[in-house]
Amino acid sequence: MTATDGVFAVIVAHGDLERAGRCASSLGLPADRVIVVANVAPSAVSAPWRVMSPAGPQGYGANLNLGVAQAPPGTRWLILLNDDVVFEPLTLEGLLAAGQADPHLGAITPALYGEDRRPQAVAFRHPTVRSELAGTLGGPDILRRALRRGHSVLPSGAGVSYEDWVLGAAVLVRFSAFADVGGVDERYFMYSEDTQFGLDLRRAGWRSGVLHDEWALHIGATSTSEARWDELLAASRRRYLRHNLSRPRFAALCLLWPVAQAWNMAYLAAMWFPSPSARRARLAHLRAQWRWPPWR
């Protein structure tokens, strides 16, 4: 037996099987313990691990569930991954050791860094009225940072910390915990499915954590800054807020939302952006916010 016995990996790919291959190879798992779910069926497949595709393109959570359904008997742990993640040696073993040491730990992610070697946020607090308004406000960075202080968690390099929810790019999940919550909520096409999953785990009595000592490279983490994804991000977050905020908090958010958007319009009009691309990005963000208010 090895430390990784009982682990099954599900990698969601978006058309780039070469990148998924780098991710799979970094895990050090046997080929029959890895499945790649290609959201769009590739024209040709040459890989030692299994590759499957849904009948038609679907959301990230639905693709994860599709892959998990192929887990062989005896699976105790799931490693759920974006195809743009590459594990460092022994990272998976470290995650397993942390999970086995805490029977209440349902999900744990390693520390992540980007291609620039800078640490990335890997865990977050559950959304609140304040954090949602802060996420939509334009303005000086110092104001935005003050409003969002304490909302996200960067790797600290020491031990395990327990958080509200962890980023879904690379997460080890206890199979029994995954089953307890019925898998990943497929109402989310993209974004916020990991937020909902973390909340579902907590409601079912499971913890989510970050292992700050073990690292993985996250090549992506850029899609949320692209204007074309603004509407997907906004739509998913609105869905989460409608389903999970209490009625008084949701009402407060709805009342404050127009005020925040009025500020955004005034700030945009008052500030001169020398870069046309910056203007277009801010306008796209504002347009997405107006199209997807909390009550929609």
Domain-located, residue 137:
no
Single out the residue in 221, 247, 262 at which a domain terminates. Answer: 221
Under 8 Å between Cβ of 135 and 148: yes
Same domain, yes or no: 167 and 275: no
Contact 143, 137 (CB under 8 A): yes
pLDDT at 272: 63
**Residue 58 sits in the same domain as residue 175:** yes
Q: Say whether both 100 and 247 belong to one domain.
A: no
- Are both 60 and 111 inside the same structural domain? yes
Domain identity same for 59 and 167: yes
Cβ(82)–Cβ(19) under 8 Å?
no
- Asked whether residue 259 falls in the same domain as residue 162, the answer is no
Q: What is the mean pLDDT of the chain?
A: 87
Phi and psi angles of residue 113, each rounded to the nearest 5 degrees, phi first: -135, 155
Query: Rounded to an integer, what is the distance from CA 16 to the centroid of its chain?
Result: 19
293 or 69, higher pLDDT:
69
Task: Tell me which residue range forms the domain holding 278.
Answer: 227-291
Whether residues 36 and 170 share a domain: the answer is yes
Q: How many domains does the structure of the chain reveal? A: 2
- Separation CA 54–CA 51 (nearest Å): 11
At 224 the pLDDT is 46
% pLDDT > 90, the chain = 58
Strands 123-124 and 152-153: antiparallel
Out of 204, 221, 238, a domain closes at 221
User: Please, which pLDDT band fits residue 137 given cuts at 50, 70 and 90?
Assistant: confident
Domain boundary among 186, 203, 221: 221
Q: What CATH number did the domain enclosing 68 receive? A: 3.90.550.10
Q: What is the per-residue pLDDT for 223?
A: 46
Mark whether 72 and 103 lie in a shared domain.
Answer: yes
Query: Does 172 score more than 70 pLDDT?
Result: yes
- Rounded Cα distance between 115 and 125, Å, is 25
- Altogether, the residues listed in the chain come to a count of 296
